[in-house]
Amino acid sequence: MLQPGEAIGLLGPNGAGKSTTMWMLGAVSTRTGGRLEILGLHPDRHGPEIRAQLGVVPGPTTSTGSCGSGTT
């Protein structure tokens, strides 16, 4: 559980599930199992309220679409 003022980042290789996790946290994609509560709200019923509180900063990509600085 995050405390007020804390932030997290999701790092990992392509295909690790980072985007899928964010889609579920943002109530854009439904879960196939388990329980999920964001800020005390249920994503299936409070999607817009949850999304209004989330911030997403995508990392840079190279011309091949992989994460990286884009420099050689």
In order, the DSSP letters of 26-69 are TTSS--SSS---BTTB-HHHHHHHHHTT----PPPB-TTS-BS-
Q: Which residue range(s) make up the domain with 54? A: 1-72
Residue predicted with more confidence, 64 or 8: 8
The model carries a pTM of: 0.62
Q: Write down the pLDDT at residue 65.
A: 54
Q: Write down the pLDDT at residue 71.
A: 47
Nearest one of 69, 70, 67, 71 to 11, comparing CA atoms? 67
Running DSSP on this structure, what letter comes out for residue 11? -
Q: Write down the pLDDT at residue 72.
A: 44
Tally the domains of the chain.
1
**pLDDT at position 66 over 60:** no
Per-residue pLDDT tens over the stretch 3-62: 888 888 888 898 998 888 888 888 888 888 888 888 889 988 998 998 888 877 776 765
Q: Decide: residue 50, CB within 10 A, 0-12 exposed, 13-18 middle, 19+ buried.
A: buried
